[in-house]
A = this chain, B = another copy of it.
Amino acid sequence: MPLILLTNDDGILAPGINALRQELEKIDGLEIWSVAPDRERSASGHAITTYRPLFPLEAKIPGARTPCYSVTGTPADSAKLAIDELLPRRPDLVISGINHGSNLGTDIFYSGTVAAALEGPILGIPAVASSLDLGPGADYGLAARFTADLALKVLREGLPPGTLLNVNIPGLPEEEIKGVRITRMGRRLYKDQWDRRVDPRGRTYYWLAGEVMELDNGPDTDVSAVAEGYISVTPVQLDLTRQDQMDRLRNWNLKV
């Protein structure tokens, strides 16, 4: 029976992971374990905890028919501890999400959702990261159904080593979603990113803020797909080597 690790960065109590767990629990022949941070840990990137130990605790989630655990650490900690120590055996698939908010373009470097999923490919296990764009029509039920279907497809078809699928679902009601696009990573920047203030003692401090400013986004990017009402599915690789620069750098003749 395939074993699925379900994790996220919004915490074990978040609506996204629970919608997805409920959807997966409807499918016969799957074993599901949910292991996620004990609280919201968005924008954690791939941080791991080395100065404190981690406590895993069984989480009592109303209605859950499969094991649920919280971990006192980051998303990557939770996925790593689950795979190495908590699950009864090595999982066949890691699913992270459904995140509250999209993870498009360069967002994926900051995303705890994607980082937790990447613990799969790092250990040779396929993975899916799934995020729901915010919007008045955002529907975790729809996002959960799409992600569960995709998970079954990945279990059947497999993914090459070192690969995950990064899924983003528009924040629209089902009837307004136009379809699914296989996409590449776009680019997303934030402008006026810092809110500068002065504290009561006269010291300057900054809040990270800012509005999304989209750039360089062809129709084949994740950013454009979601903006146009399509679900985006981006294959993401673990090998970050920029192969096309290797010969050029060799010609620099670097010496000690």
Contacts and interface: CB of A to CB of B under 8 A. Distances in A.
Interface string A188-207: 01000110110000011111
9 contacts: A53-B205, A53-B207, A54-B208, A153-B252, A174-B256, A179-B255, A182-B254, A231-B254, A235-B241
Q: How large is the interface on A (under 10, 10 to 19, 20 to 34, 35 or more residues)?
A: 35 or more
A217 interface: no
A240 interface: yes
Listed from nearest, the 5 A-B pairs whose CB atoms lie closest are A45-B46, A45-B45, A237-B242, A235-B245, A184-B241
B236 A240 contact: yes
A141 interface: no
Interface of A: 42-50, 53-56, 74, 76-77, 80-81, 84-85, 106, 108-110, 115, 118, 122-123, 142, 146, 149-150, 153, 157, 159-160, 163, 165, 174, 177, 179-180, 182, 184-185, 189, 193-194, 196-197, 203-208, 231, 233-243, 245-246, 249-250, 252, 254-256
Given A197-B53, A240-B240, A45 B48 contact: yes
A203 to B, nearest CB: 6
Number of copies: 2
Given A47-B44, A184-B246, A205 B241 contact: no
Given A46-B46, A204-B55, A256-B146, A196 B242 contact: no
